[in-house]
A = this chain, B = another copy of it.
């Protein structure tokens, strides 16, 4: 069955690979699964047709026959749980890898997304500039803890897993602000993720997609 995901018609990041379709492309590349991409404009995202597949009017979504999923975490878990090499077979190791998926999405990404909130939705407010260091420090606090846990390991818990895939994807969003590079071990961890052939294919695909789309929105 054909897999179809959705992506921004034109990503707000201009092809930096920070939108959430990139992490879904990545897991599909790791699994060796071909997929098609349907572009969704900002206007179409809020229309009933898209809301029927994504109640929050976002991307990415995942369609495969009768199955319709949203939430990148869920899509990544779905693919990872059906293809070897993304989640350990041993039950305890598998549960720990899944833990890192949830940790990335519920404990690490929320403070990072505040950077976007501050800029996009509160950039014109009088407190915006003064508040930014607080937001940045909440991210640093979390990355300090993550760096302490990672130590000098290559990945978070043994071999590369879907947990690393999600964590690297989340951490990538701190690079434009300069915060990622304040943590050399995490920057190196992210670089290891980016060096994976599947990531490179995913990144190139989203870049080509964002370059090829018409400049409407």
Please give the residue numbers on chain A whose beta carbons come within 8 Å of chain B beta carbons, in ascending order.
51, 55-58, 66-74, 77-78, 92, 95-96, 98-99, 101-103, 105-107, 109-110, 113, 117, 121-122, 125-127, 130-131, 134, 138, 142, 145-146, 148-149
| Cα A67 to Cα B51 with chains together (Å) | 39
Check B71 against A95 for contact (C-beta < 8 Å): no
Give the residue of B58, B77, B107, B127 whose beta carbon is less than 8 angstroms from that of A102: B77
Picked from B68, B72, B107, the residue with its CB within 8 Å of the CB of A56 is B107
Chain B residues lying within 8 Å of A51, measured Cβ to Cβ, are: 145, 148-149
- A109 surroundings in chain B (CB, below 8 A): 106, 110
- A73→B51 CA distance, assembly (Å): 25
**Nearest chain-B residue to A96 (Cβ)?**
B69
B110 touches A71 (CB 8 A): no
Give the one of A55, A125, A131 with max B CB within 10 A.
A55
Contact present for B142 and A73 (CB under 8 Å): no
CA distance A77 to B87 in the complex (A): 15
Q: What are the 7 closest A-B residue pairs judged by CB atoms, nearest first?
A: A127-B127, A55-B149, A73-B102, A74-B99, A110-B110, A71-B102, A105-B106
Whole-angstrom CA separation of A101 from B67 in the bound complex: 17
Q: For the complex, what is the distance from the CA of A69 to the CA of B97, rounded to whole Å?
A: 10
Beta-carbon contact of A102 and B103 below 8 Å: no
Task: Please give the count of copies of this chain that the complex contains.
Answer: 2
A101 nearest in chain B by CB position: B74
Is the CB–CB distance between B71 and A107 below 8 Å? yes
Q: Give Cα A73 to B122, complex, Å.
A: 30
Q: Are B134 and A55 in contact (CB under 8 A)?
A: no
Name the B residues within 8 Å of A56 (CB-CB). Answer: 103, 107, 142, 145
| Given A56-B142, A78-B95, A121-B134, CB of A71 within 8 Å of CB of B106 | yes
A158 nearest CB across to chain B (Å)? 14
- Interchain Cβ contacts under 8 Å between A and B, 30 examples: A51-B145, A51-B149, A55-B145, A55-B148, A56-B107, A56-B145, A66-B92, A67-B95, A67-B96, A69-B99, A70-B99, A70-B103, A71-B99, A72-B106, A74-B95, A74-B102, A77-B98, A78-B95, A78-B98, A106-B106, A106-B109, A110-B110, A110-B113, A121-B134, A122-B131, A125-B127, A125-B131, A126-B127, A127-B127, A127-B130
